[in-house]
Amino acid sequence: MTQSKSSNIVWHEGTVGRKHRELLNQHRGFTIWFTGLSGSGKSTLSVALEERLYQMGCRTYRLDGDNVRTGLNRDLAFSPEDRIENIRRIGEVAKLFRDAGLINLTAFISPYRQDRDMARNLSQRADNDFLEVFVDAPLDVCEQRDPKGLYKKARAGSIPNFTGISAPYEAPEYPEIHIRTDETSIEQGVDQIVAYLIEHGYIEAGLADTARAT
């Protein structure tokens, strides 16, 4: 009836820690940090990946502009200092979520290498629990997609410091995963990430079979 009855929980006295939560969830807690230009497909891909992981029984949580910029970071604007603080806080919250034993997905442009490295370096685990996914599409493709009409505004000069147009995007040099969304479908991108997670022991292959069978 309840999961606790069927789970093989090894419990002794003491404070509940990350290991216990991971045991209960039957997978590790880690962060999948999506980075890429506006329109590159970060949001779409992370939503699709979360759906797949959910079907596999994984515990996930996704941080994006919708739930962060309107809440925790609503006091921040887009000045250089505020952009850094924005990513710093997201990095800290991501750390809390992986400590909570969840697979935490973040979908932010996060254009600066230094800021992403800061978020990565909050991790102190020997087994890497911070995976960077470079969601990559050429600027002209992103601009053509322009799902939020932001490139149009940026070209018209009404959005200053727009990444890719009037502000730089520093592509990851060594991302764990690199996805060209102009060459692959969302489905293929999800497959690629899931394959990486299985191959590197983040999730069990059996979970994927379950998801496909249902």
Residue 37, marked binder: yes
* Catalytic residue status for 158: no
**159 versus 186: smaller Cβ distance to a second copy:** 186
Distance CA 164, CA 141 (A): 12
Distance CA 86, CA 68 (A): 9
Residue 57, marked binder: no
Q: Helix (H, G, I), strand (E, B), or coil: what is residue 127?
A: coil
CB of 4 to a second copy, least distance (A): 3
For 178, phi then psi, to 5°, come to -125, 120
**179 versus 207: smaller Cβ distance to a second copy:** 207
**63 versus 177: smaller Cβ distance to a second copy:** 63
Q: Report CA 203 to chain centroid distance, whole Å.
A: 16
Residues binding a second copy (CB under 8 A): 1-7, 9, 11, 13-16, 20-21, 24-26, 47, 50-51, 54-57, 59-63, 67, 71-72, 75, 85, 89, 92-93, 95-97, 99-102, 122, 204, 206-207, 210-211, 214
Structure tokens at 142: 């992103």
For 85, phi then psi, to 5°, come to -65, -35
Residue 131, marked binder: no
Distance CA 115, CA 167 (A): 15
**Which residue among 7, 110, 158, 166 is the active-site one?**
110
Q: Which positions are catalytic?
A: 110
Feature table: binding site for ATP: 36-43
